[in-house]
Amino acid sequence: MIQSAFSMLSQGVEGLRPQTLEQLVAGAALLLPMLDVIPNAAIFIKDLQARYVLANRTLVQRCGLKDLRPLLGKTSAQVFPAQLGPGYTEQDRKVLEEGFVLEDQLELHLYGSREPGWCLTHKQPLYNRDGAIIGLAGISVDLQSASETHPAFQRLATVDEHIRAHFNRRVTLGELTRIAGISVAQLERYCKRVFHLTPRQMIQKVRLEHAHRLLHSDLPITEVALQCGYTDHSAFTRQFKASTGFTPRQYRQATGSE
């Protein structure tokens, strides 16, 4: 339902190709009643200044608001906590200024309880009939629970356990396929069906969850990187920023851990 709704929004936008963002939003608003009933996906449209011009009820509620109106005209940096908002806006500007398309980006969110929550985010620029970018559309889908009824669940649960036990070192696809007794192609396909993530995203998720916890301690960031399986400090910084919008040091400062 979520993917079909976003597909309808994207295809409709691309097919109509209005000349202005206002015309586009007027058409997309017709889908809003349907988008509002999706509880586990934040769906939105933003203008060239990365300000919200349309959003579904799930996003409105996660911003701590009762209705859409207070959200309109504001950027993510203005409505989300300091640990999150600026990173989202920086991501938006890359889409708006460079035409960058974000696909299946694993992101760590912090909800009202301040507990980490994961989502897969997609963003794409919106073009008018002349080929000029006039805004962006995006969707962040909550990561679903593992599909325990899938026939391959038990062997993939063993893969997940192996990742959680050895994430602090290099984990290869080869060793994961040996554990599961299947090919790389099958492993990729089954992991997406059972855990809704690729094997590499599963490794990344476990490492970043551990990093999130360690960054609330006084452990040096280089040591955090090592304990999370990164021998390259810069690689850790890049991946952490891609998932949270902050470098590890910025995140630590924003959360008051430094």
CATH 3.30.70.20 fits 153-254, yes or no: no
Q: Is 26 left (phi over 0), alpha (psi -120 to 50) or beta?
A: alpha
Residue 87 confidence (pLDDT): 80
Residue 22 confidence (pLDDT): 93
Residue 19 confidence (pLDDT): 86
* pLDDT per residue of the chain (258 residues) written in tens, 0 to 9: 555 555 555 545 455 678 899 998 998 899 899 999 988 899 999 999 999 999 999 899 888 888 999 999 999 988 887 767 788 888 999 999 999 999 989 987 755 454 568 899 999 999 998 999 999 999 999 888 888 888 989 999 999 999 999 999 999 999 999 999 999 999 999 999 999 999 999 999 999 999 989 998 999 999 999 999 998 889 999 999 888 778 899 888 876 655
Residue 18 confidence (pLDDT): 83
Residue 231 confidence (pLDDT): 87
Residue 77 confidence (pLDDT): 87
Residue 198 confidence (pLDDT): 94
- The boundaries of every CATH 1.10.10.60 domain in the chain are 153-254
Q: Could you tell me the two tokens for 12?
A: 């409709």
Instruction: Fill in the amino acid letter for 217.
Output: S
Among 40, 41, 43, smallest CA distance to 25 is for 43
Q: Which CATH class is domain 2-142?
A: alpha beta
- The boundaries of every CATH 3.30.450.20 domain in the chain are 2-142
Residue 112 confidence (pLDDT): 47
